[in-house]
Amino acid sequence: MTANAPGQVCLMQGNEAIVRGAVEAGIHFAASYPGSPSSQILGMLGKIARERNFYAEWSTNEVCALQACCGASLAGARALCVVKQNGLLCTADALHCAAQHGVKGGLVIVSSDDPSAHSSTNEFDSRWQALSAGIPLLEPTTMQEAKDMIPYAFELSEAVGQIVLVRLTTRVCHGRGNVALGALPEKPRALERVKEWDRMVCVCYMHGPALQKLEELRQRFEVSPFNHYDGPEAPRRLVIAGGTGCLYGQEALRRLNAGAETGFLALGTLWPLPEAYILKHLRAAEEVLILEEVDPFLEQAIQALAGREGLRVRFLGRSGGALPRIGELDPDNVTAAIARLIGASLPEKRPAGELELPVREMSFCAGCPHRATFYLLKRAMRQEKHPGVVVGDIGCYFMAGQSAGQYAYQVCNCMGSGVNVAEGLGQLTNYGLDQKVVTMCGDSTFFHTILPGLVNATYHNANMLLIVLDNSATAMTGFQPHPGTGLTAMGEAVKPMDIPKILDAVGCKVEVADPFDVVEAEKTLRRLLDQPGMNVLIMRQPCATLKAKERSRKPVRVYVDQSVCLGDGCGCDKYCSRVWGCPGNTWDFRNNKAQIDPVTCVGCGVCAKLCPSGAIRVEEESEERNRCVPAGADLTTKGGEEA
Ligand code: SF4
Ligand code: SF4
């Protein structure tokens, strides 16, 4: 990543290519909040920051990250802000204001979109934010372009004094390809003292100059090296593509042997559109197919351009049914769309694999403390006179809205929303809503966006319970540090922030429980549900994967004594594998009894506390090896009572 070897070709993931591009651009500053599919970028930057003499941080949230980049830019620094699609939306106010006041040192935002929402709650098209804020937008197709676009984006940003948005999608972030390295700057450019009349102040009269910058950018994009055309000089049928659509489109034209008569225009500069360049290839076209992820962004813009020029062109794409309106593009749906465009029959489908893979449900990991919390919560809520309302939030525990968490949620909006939605419901309990209101957040989300809502709910004394699922990690995105962990992105040890002390300072009633100590945790939970006002319960137990990584769990063996397990006959209806649902609890179909998968099980011992027959045993593996511990004995927590 830091080798000064211009011309050397390396196999790189898209996220790695972005990091390399940032190093070649000589960045001074990088900030991000983790979000898939681009979480690795800042993690890698943090590791090489000292060597390359720049600063990198995992910010508390995306607004902090972008505004810190604005501060760095004022001192002439090149600043890189990395967010995912939802994070970009979080920055909307900051972004629109920054777009109006402009930048001094180059400021580039890399935003990663997740079409089909592989690791997100929703799919979203970041490109609208560039349009709305009035900033330039680039989108790479290959790993080489991902690397090359970063220095280009910084140069562009400084040339016109504007933020540049580089949009990635999952397949570019996680795909791999060859990248020819460029040269590294010898030493970082010197920072500039902020002078008395230097200005990055958002006032409305800056709107006009911001629009002028867009016009200047349009001129630059007319000759950008990131736009290419292949095909006949005046094509009747034209394919226009951006991002992954370019690769799928090129592959489809090859498969259909249609490259000679069909024009193919690949765009890397998506906003403002290089209108003259597009029109040059569009004028003769009768039919145009647009390939893009996810919304008909280019389709609408190019359609408007054609209309303005009085061209009679039939457009096909995401909005006209030629391609699915939602979800990812793929080689098959793109090939089918191009085959329809040119009137060709579809090439023979590639044979599918012999094995039909089963659909994998979203599930908490084996030994995940959230499974225990949601199990206890569901049980406690069912025992209320009127079932309560559970308001979800975003993190691993988003999965609690599905079978992994006993379908716990009635409502779940976006990251940090839970405490606010619950506050609204909690206030209504004084106006006739006869239900308990519970919400939750993880420790990273607590710092990210919960604090203002917590202050609001406490100040207005809402009747609600906030459960802080403190697993000591930003687990879902790969264990990045947050203010509660005592580490920075650059590996520095700092004083961690104490969540109970913060809650105490805000004035909430706070208790702490261990979800693996199921008896005590349930008692505390039920007591707090009955307590009026704003209550907080911290469910504290480190993430199972973190414990496994740190090897901080006692080595134990968990197994089912099949002579005690009555299987289908015991009336528990496969309680461990069906209801509790840890991936370590499986079924032995030969004996029709439960079993533990020793590879998956991490030895938390909670299923042993829940088995009604006491058939699940936990056995220490080290100093007291072979001592069989009866069900209910607590090897991992202070409790020890049977559930
Ligand atoms: S919960 Fe206990 S008794 Fe029921 S199937 Fe599982 S191990 Fe057997
Ligand atoms: S002890 Fe039981 S609940 Fe814990 S990881 Fe193993 S199988 Fe899952």
The DSSP code sequence of 460-475 is: TT-SEEEEEEE-SSBT
Question: Using H for helix, E for strand and C for coil, what is the string for 352-401?
Answer: CCCCCCCCCCCCCCCCCHHHHHHHHHHHHHHCCCCCCEEECCCCHHHHHH
Query: Which ligand lies nearest to the CA atom of residue 595 in the structure?
Result: 1
Q: Which of 109-118, 454-463, 530-539, 563-572 is least confident?
A: 563-572
How many other β-carbons are positioned within 10 Å of the β-carbon of residue 87? 26
Over residues 446-460, the mean pLDDT reads 96
Bridge partner list, 9: 180
The Å distance, Cα 507 to ligand 2 centre, comes to: 37
pLDDT at 351: 65
What letter would DSSP give residue 415?
T
Query: Which ligand lies nearest to the CA atom of residue 561 in the structure?
Result: 1
- Distance in angstroms between the alpha carbons of the first and the last residue of the chain: 52
Residue 640 confidence (pLDDT) above 80: no
- Confidence tier at 572 by pLDDT (50, 70, 90): confident
Cβ partners under 8 Å of residue 311, min gap 6: 282, 283, 285
Report the nearest-CA residue for atom 2 of ligand 1.
611
Over residues 312-326, the mean pLDDT reads 94
Q: Is 79 helix (H, G, I), strand (E, B) or coil?
A: strand
- Annotate 287-348 with DSSP letters as a single string: EEEEE-SSSSHHHHHHHHHHHHTT---EEESTTTTSS-SSS---HHHHHHHHHHHHTPPPPP
Is the minimum distance from the CB of 594 to ligand 1 under 6 angstroms? yes
Is the minimum distance from the CB of 575 to ligand 1 under 6 angstroms? yes
Q: Which percentage of the chain shows pLDDT scores above 90?
A: 81
Please check whether residue 120 is in contact with residue 85, taking contact to mean a CB–CB distance below 8 angstroms.
yes
pLDDT at 545: 82
Whose tokens are 């319960």? That residue is: 537
Query: Which ligand lies nearest to the CA atom of residue 591 in the structure?
Result: 1
Over residues 546-574, the mean pLDDT reads 80
How far CA 338 is from CA of 254, 348, 353, in Å, comes to 11, 15, 25
* pTM for the structure as a whole: 0.90
Is the minimum distance from the CB of 175 to ligand 2 under 6 angstroms? no
Q: Which among 563, 593, 601, 616 is the best mutation to test ligand 1's pocket, defined by most ligand atoms within 8 Å of the CB?
A: 616
Give the atom of ligand 2 at the shortest distance from the alpha carbon of 367. 5
- Confidence tier at 638 by pLDDT (50, 70, 90): very low
Report the nearest-CA residue for atom 1 of ligand 2.
605
How far CA 605 is from CA of 157, 388, 630, in Å, comes to 55, 29, 11
Strands 585-588 and 164-169 turn out to be unpaired
How far CA 322 is from CA of 21, 249, 290, 291, 296, in Å, comes to 36, 14, 9, 10, 11
Is the minimum distance from the CB of 129 to ligand 1 under 6 angstroms? no
Tokens of 106: 């180059």
Report the nearest-CA residue for atom 3 of ligand 2.
607
pLDDT at 409: 93
Residue 624 confidence (pLDDT) above 60: no
Residue 360 confidence (pLDDT) above 70: yes
Residue 481 confidence (pLDDT) above 50: yes
- Domains of the chain (ranges, CATH numbers): 9-189+201-222 (3.40.50.970), 228-342 (3.40.50.920), 369-549 (3.40.50.970), 554-629 (3.30.70.20)
CA 298, CA 319: separation in Å to the nearest integer? 11
pLDDT at 501: 95
Over residues 70-91, the mean pLDDT reads 97
Is the minimum distance from the CB of 108 to ligand 2 under 6 angstroms? no
- Confidence tier at 359 by pLDDT (50, 70, 90): confident
Is the minimum distance from the CB of 596 to ligand 1 under 6 angstroms? no
The Å distance, Cα 567 to ligand 1 centre, comes to: 6
Strands 556-560 and 287-291 turn out to be unpaired
Phi, psi of 506 (to 5 degrees): -70, -25
Q: Which among 365, 558, 565 is the best mutation to test ligand 2's pocket, defined by most ligand atoms within 8 Å of the CB?
A: 558
pLDDT at 435: 92
Over residues 103-123, the mean pLDDT reads 95
pLDDT at 213: 97
The Å distance, Cα 169 to ligand 2 centre, comes to: 36
Task: Provide the strand spans (E) within 37-140.
Answer: 55-58, 79-84, 107-113, 137-138
CA 265, CA 255: separation in Å to the nearest integer? 18
Is the minimum distance from the CB of 579 to ligand 1 under 6 angstroms? no
pLDDT at 623: 52
pLDDT at 639: 30
Residue 632 confidence (pLDDT) above 50: no
Per the model's pLDDT, the better-predicted residue between 134 and 403 turns out to be 134
Q: Which of 70-79, 355-364, 620-629 is least confident?
A: 620-629
Query: Which ligand lies nearest to the CA atom of residue 584 in the structure?
Result: 2
pLDDT, averaged across the chain: 91
Over residues 365-378, the mean pLDDT reads 94
Is the minimum distance from the CB of 554 to ligand 1 under 6 angstroms? no
- Annotate 483-510 with DSSP letters as a single string: TTTSB-TT--B-PPP-HHHHHHHHT-EE
Report the nearest-CA residue for atom 2 of ligand 2.
607
pLDDT tens-digit readout, 56-72: 999 999 999 999 999 99
- Confidence tier at 247 by pLDDT (50, 70, 90): very high
Q: Among 187, 177, 130, which Cα is nearest to 156's?
A: 130
Cα angle, residue 174 at apex, residues 583 and 91 outer, rounded to 5°: 95
Q: Among 555, 153, 516, which Cα is nearest to 370's?
A: 516
Residue 642 confidence (pLDDT) above 60: no
Is the minimum distance from the CB of 606 to ligand 1 under 6 angstroms? no
